[in-house]
Amino acid sequence: MARITTPVPGYSGQGPGNLHFNNGVAETDDEAIIAYCRGAGYGIDADPPEPEKPQIPDPREVTTTVVGAPVRDAAVDPKPGDFRPPVNAGEANPHGPEVYAPGLPGGGLQPTAPAAPAEEQADGQSSLGRPPQSEPVAVWREYAASVATSDEERAEVDKMTKAELIKKYGG
């Protein structure tokens, strides 16, 4: 007669082959049930089963074959120009709890756009004289009116959206 213990300590109820477990223990002399239980992680006789720990492979240690154009993941291989890469990117397992995204654009006090272009100065003005894209539409209308070349063009400035002003005068 073999003593079988469940992988779940203290389990009471039906088990494989109609075994009835009481407080995690059952007995049988059926070799087929014993073989099944041994392969399924049950303890046989006095050997309690070792609980399985889920193993999450670190993708940086897995060998893969790239098919097609290679894709770069900022969580695995961050570059200095990446916009808001995950926290701890490139330092920890990208699928583990230590690597996480800083949040969606527009959430909290985080920036919602990449850093200003290199020609933009510390006071927010660009070296070209135009306002940064983050300025309100009124500032863009004032700028567009100052660089417009005709009265008709100045009249159109008041009807244009911020996106239209940036497209026409921002670049």
Dihedral of alpha carbons 169, 110, 72, 78, sign: positive
pLDDT tens-digit profile of 41-73?
888 885 556 666 777 878 778 777 767 766 677
Report how far residue 101's alpha carbon sits from residue 85's, in angstroms, rounded to the nearest whole number: 7
Distance (Å, whole) CA 50 – CA 140: 68
Q: Give, in degrees to the nearest 5, the angle at Cα 132 between 129 and 134.
A: 160
What SS3 state is found at 44?
A: strand
Alpha-carbon gap, residue 126 to 171, rounded angstroms: 11
DSSP state of 16: G
pLDDT per residue as tens digits for the range 126-157: 445 788 888 888 888 888 888 888 888 888 88
0.85 exceeded by pTM: no
Residue spans of the domains in the chain: they are 2-44, 137-169
